[in-house]
Each structure stands twice: as structure tokens, then as C-alpha cells.
């Protein structure tokens, strides 16, 4: 619902749109850092509790990294003609930000905590 409200406000308010597009790369990079930090913490705890193996961590992170790079390069190609220089950075970071790495990191912890109940 928040995304729809944000899209409507961007459509109606040109000043807000300019402000948001100027700061969008920083916002998305911050969100990416938070998500990757949370994922790293969850994988570390999962490895310590033996809920996930190092090989599984490698496959999960490697697979989503490859998918994120694909999305980032696709976004770069799709936005190459836009006049705003920060737009392709935002779209590329959004490819990484969308991926459910944190959810995959928490899944083994959830399974092991439910197994011990």
C-alpha cells in the first residue's frame, strides 16, 4: 500500500519527485547494506547452530548474487537512455535489494527452532 501512495505522490508532486530521485541511490544502497548485514548475521547464526551447511550458504549466496547481477545489468540496459545519471544506479541496486536473501538466511533457523519444540 505504501508503494502505491508513494507512486501517487511522485506522480502529483514534481518537487518531491526531484528530491526522491536525487536521493534514491543513497536510500537503496542503505537498504541493501541493511539487508546484507541482516543476511550475514542470520547465516552466521545458522552455521553456528548447524542449521545450514557452508556449501548451502555458498549456493544460496552465489545463486542470488548471480540473479542480482543479471537484474542489475538488465536495469542498466533498460535505463541507458534516461537523462538522469543516478537512475541506472538505483535500478541496479534495486535488483539486489529485491532478492530474498534475508528470508533464505532465516529459513534454516526457523526450521531448527521448530524442530526443538
Query: Can you give 32-64 as a three-state secondary structure string?
Result: HHHHHHHHHHHHHHHHHCCCCCHHHHHHHHHHH
What are the distances in angstroms from CA 53 to CA 4, 47, 100, 117?
A: 40, 6, 19, 22
Domain assignment of residue 47, given as a range: 23-115
- Lowest mean pLDDT across 10-14, 25-29, 56-60, 74-78: 74-78
2 domain-assigned: no
48 domain-assigned: yes
49 domain-assigned: yes
pLDDT band at 4 (very low <50, low <70, confident <90, very high): confident
pTM score: 0.65
Residue 102 near residue 38, CB atoms below 8 Å: yes
| Residue 44 predicted with pLDDT over 80 | yes
Please give the tally of structural domains in the chain: 1
8 domain-assigned: no
Amino acid at each position: 500500500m505504501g508503494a502505491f501512495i508513494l507512486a501517487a505522490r511522485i506522480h502529483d508532486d514534481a518537487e518531491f519527485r526531484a528530491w526522491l530521485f536525487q536521493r534514491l541511490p543513497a536510500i537503496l544502497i542503505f537498504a541493501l547494506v541493511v539487508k546484507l548485514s541482516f543476511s550475514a548475521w542470520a547465516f552466521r547464526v545458522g552455521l553456528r547452530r548447524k542449521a545450514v551447511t557452508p556449501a548451502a550458504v555458498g549456493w544460496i549466496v552465489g545463486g542470488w548474487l548471480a540473479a542480482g547481477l543479471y537484474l542489475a545489468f538488465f536495469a542498466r540496459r533498460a535505463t541507458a537512455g534516461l537523462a538522469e545519471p543516478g537512475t541506472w544506479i538505483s535500478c541496479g541496486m534495486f535488483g539486489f535489494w529485491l532478492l530474498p536473501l534475508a528470508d533464505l538466511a532465516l529459513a534454516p533457523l526457523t526450521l531448527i527452532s521448530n524442530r526443538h519444540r
